[in-house]
């Protein structure tokens, strides 16, 4: 009976297996990932190997884990979205014991009928060969006995371990165990240390070099990646547009967040690139305000909304700041237009060959001048009204890898902000005004393509759109407190 049951589980699981008909068909192709590995191999130092570990599973509470998110470098190079895996990319061909020559090898979690019934399908060794196109792929149970003479390499490049991976005591080939085995294989000096010692290395371990190599690659987006990013950006713009039409005084910050995220899901975005920031009034002054707990946004407030849909791993990063009642007050308008002017000034100079820090300097000069003209800051005064830089790359990470110098096919943001908290040393009519305007750009040969222009940005365009009716207009649910009281 037990054998019959196991066979049944095995059948169900294998039918649900690698070739999954329910999956979207617009993921990056295996050729994309293969090409990325080729490109990395091309820039690896002579006689080296690069090693990448999958992200760990993180515990949320008791027996519940956080939704798994693959390490972006690992995903970029493999397309593999499961945990407990390690990838080796060799500069030169290696000979396996059976004489096979190979220059990359992937170890993945094995198929397991019972586990798959609880936590979902796995590709397993055969799946990564069939679906992801790896020639050398093995179950991670084989990793311990994988033999390469690591002492022969001039460099073994990997990202250092922060000792923050939990051991699953029931799995002797999980990520934790593979890291332990890897440390032994490569002669990692102090196996219990949090990081490799900072003193000059006497061995061939290099935990610093991979970041800049990956930045070189990931900063320049391929046409396939640009397509993904454009989709993520368009979806995120639609969230902003729908909220501009739907928002009303009395809604909660969380409800407004929910409208954005509903739109993301409606367009099949799997995830958020980062926790959504929806801050009304002075909450907007908290740069990464993700509590979103204010129960009633009020008519006179601005609301700052910084949200990015993640589509097939790629994220947008867009901020719009709008008046809850649909009309900017004179003070709100003055601050908003100053932030917009700063953004426009940066956009004007944004092209290959400019450093991203120059975009920040440009915005800062405009904002500082404007704040003085408005009497909010004094000449020469150090203030905290604009405490961040304005540009970073976007891609698989919201703050993506990429170089400081802007190049063709970068995807970057420009995001000036002005934040005037309550009790700031200026006229109190300005207190609680927080504005950030953040747009996404694809860098072209001599300028940029403005990817997020679907979401209105000028005062007039925002106010005009906010007059339009919304699909959420007649959307109401019973008062939950009344329902629960009735039941009691």
Residues at the interface with Mn ion (CB under 5 A): 306, 317, 413, 415, 438
Q: How far is the CB of 287 from ligand GLY (least distance, A)?
A: 8
Q: How far is the CB of 415 from ligand GLY (least distance, A)?
A: 6
How many Å is the Cα radius of gyration of the chain?
26
Q: How far is the CB of 306 from ligand GLY (least distance, A)?
A: 5
Q: How far is the CB of 437 from Mn ion (least distance, A)?
A: 10
Q: Residues in contact with ligand GLY, total (CB under 6 A)? A: 6
Judged by beta carbon, residue 250 or residue 275, the one nearer Mn ion is 275
Judged by beta carbon, residue 73 or residue 439, the one nearer ligand GLY is 439
When CB distances are held under 5 to 8 angstroms depending on the partner's kind, the choice from ligand GLY, Mn ion, none that residue 324 binds is: none
Residues sharing a CB contact under 8 Å with residue 323, sequence separation 6 or more, in sequence order: 301, 302, 303, 329, 332, 462, 463, 466
CA angle 419, 424, 429 (to 5 degrees): 80
Residues sharing a CB contact under 8 Å with residue 206, sequence separation 6 or more, in sequence order: 48, 155, 156, 157, 158
Identify the CA nearest to 139 among candidates 86, 69, 185, 78: 86
Q: How far is the CB of 367 from ligand GLY (least distance, A)?
A: 17
When asked if residue 363 is in the footprint of ligand GLY (CB under 6 A), the reply is no
Q: How far is the CB of 28 from Mn ion (least distance, A)?
A: 23
Judged by beta carbon, residue 331 or residue 415, the one nearer Mn ion is 415
Judged by beta carbon, residue 206 or residue 440, the one nearer Mn ion is 440
Could you write out the DSSP letters of every residue in 15-40? HTSSS-TTS-S-SPPHHHHHHHHHHH
Judged by beta carbon, residue 150 or residue 274, the one nearer ligand GLY is 274
When asked if residue 472 is in the footprint of ligand GLY (CB under 6 A), the reply is no
Q: How far apart are CA 442 and CA 412, in angstroms?
A: 7
Q: Half-sphere exposure (CA, 13 Å, Cβ side) for 332?
A: 25
When asked if residue 274 is in the footprint of ligand GLY (CB under 6 A), the reply is yes
Q: Which residue is nearest to ligand GLY (CB)?
A: 306
Q: Which residue is nearest to Mn ion (CB)?
A: 306
When asked if residue 435 is in the footprint of ligand GLY (CB under 6 A), the reply is no
Q: How far apart are CA 277 and CA 280, in angstroms?
A: 10
Identify the CA nearest to 228 among candidates 114, 109, 309, 328: 309
Residues facing 444 on adjacent strands? none
* Interface map 315-354 toward ligand GLY (x if CB under 6 A): --x-------------------------------------
Judged by beta carbon, residue 124 or residue 308, the one nearer ligand GLY is 308
Q: How far is the CB of 308 from Mn ion (least distance, A)?
A: 7
When asked if residue 415 is in the footprint of ligand GLY (CB under 6 A), the reply is yes
Q: How far is the CB of 264 from ligand GLY (least distance, A)?
A: 14
When CB distances are held under 5 to 8 angstroms depending on the partner's kind, the choice from ligand GLY, Mn ion, none that residue 274 binds is: ligand GLY
Estimate the share of the chain in helix, then strand, then coil, as percent rounded to the nearest 5. Answer: 35, 20, 45
- Scan for tokens 């040969």, then name that residue: 445
Judged by beta carbon, residue 255 or residue 438, the one nearer ligand GLY is 438
Residues sharing a CB contact under 8 Å with residue 53, sequence separation 6 or more, in sequence order: 71, 74, 85, 86, 87, 158, 159, 175, 178, 179, 182
**How many secondary structure helices (H) and strands (E) does the chain include?**
13, 19
Residue 483: in which H helix or E strand, if any?
helix 480-487
Q: How long a stretch of residues is the chain?
A: 488
When asked if residue 73 is in the footprint of ligand GLY (CB under 6 A), the reply is no
Identify the CA nearest to 395 among candidates 316, 480, 304, 296: 316
Q: How far is the CB of 440 from ligand GLY (least distance, A)?
A: 10
Site for ligand GLY in 374-403 (CB under 6 A): 398
Judged by beta carbon, residue 278 or residue 377, the one nearer ligand GLY is 278
Which residues would be at the binding site for ligand GLY (CB under 6 A)? 274, 306, 317, 398, 415, 438
């Amino acid at each position: 009976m037990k054998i019959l049951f196991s066979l049944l589980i095995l059948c169900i699981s294998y039918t649900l297996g690698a070739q999954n008909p329910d999956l979207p068909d617009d993921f990056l192709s295996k050729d994309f990932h293969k090409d990325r590995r080729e490109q990395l191999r091309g820039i690896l130092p002579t006689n080296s190997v690069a090693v990448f570990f999958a992200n760990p599973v993180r515990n949320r509470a008791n027996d519940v884990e956080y939704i798994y998110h693959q390490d972006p470098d690992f995903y970029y190079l493999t397309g593999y979205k499961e945990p407990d895996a390690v990838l080796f990319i060799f500069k030169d061909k290696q000979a396996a014991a059976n004489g096979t020559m190979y220059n990359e090898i992937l170890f993945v979690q094995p198929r397991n009928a019972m586990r798959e019934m609880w936590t979902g399908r796995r590709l397993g060794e055969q799946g990564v060969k069939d679906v992801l196109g790896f020639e050398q792929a093995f179950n991670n149970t084989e990793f311990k006995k994988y033999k390469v003479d690591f002492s022969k390499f001039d460099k073994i490049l990997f990202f250092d371990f922060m000792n923050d991976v939990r051991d699953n005591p029931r799995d002797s080939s999980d990520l934790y165990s593979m890291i332990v085995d890897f440390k032994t294989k490569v002669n990692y000096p102090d196996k219990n240390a949090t990081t490799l010692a900072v003193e000059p290395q006497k061995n061939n371990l290099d935990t610093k070099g991979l970041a800049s190599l990956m930045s070189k690659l990931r900063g320049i987006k391929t046409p396939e990646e640009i397509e993904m990013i454009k989709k993520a950006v368009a979806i995120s713009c639609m969230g902003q547009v729908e909220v501009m039409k739907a928002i009303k005084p009395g809604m909660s910050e969380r409800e407004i967040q929910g409208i954005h995220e509903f739109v993301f899901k409606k367009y099949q975005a799997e995830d958020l690139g980062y926790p959504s920031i929806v801050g009304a009034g002075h909450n907007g002054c908290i740069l990464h305000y993700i509590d979103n707990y204010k129960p009633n946004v009020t008519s006179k407030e601005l609301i700052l909304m910084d949200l990015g849909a993640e589509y097939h791993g790629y994220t947008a990063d867009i901020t719009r700041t709008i008046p809850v009642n649909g009309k900017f007050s004179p003070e709100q308008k003055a601050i908003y237009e100053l932030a917009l002017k700063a953004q426009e000034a940066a956009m004007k100079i944004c092209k290959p060959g400019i450093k991203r820090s120059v975009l920040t300097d440009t915005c800062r000069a405009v904002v500082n001048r404007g704040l003085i003209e408005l009497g909010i800051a004094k000449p020469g005064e150090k203030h905290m009204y604009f405490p961040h830089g304005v540009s970073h790359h976007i891609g698989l990470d919201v703050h993506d890898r990429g170089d400081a110098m802007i190049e063709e096919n970068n995807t970057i943001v420009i995001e000036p902000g002005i934040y005037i908290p309550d009790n700031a040393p200026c006229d109190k009519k300005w207190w609680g005004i927080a504005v950030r305007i953040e747009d996404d750009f694809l860098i072209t040969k001599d300028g940029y393509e403005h990817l997020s222009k679907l979401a209105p940005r000028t005062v007039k365009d925002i106010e005009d759109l906010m007059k339009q009716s919304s699909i959420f207009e007649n959307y109401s649910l019973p008062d939950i407190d009344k329902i629960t009281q009735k039941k009691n």
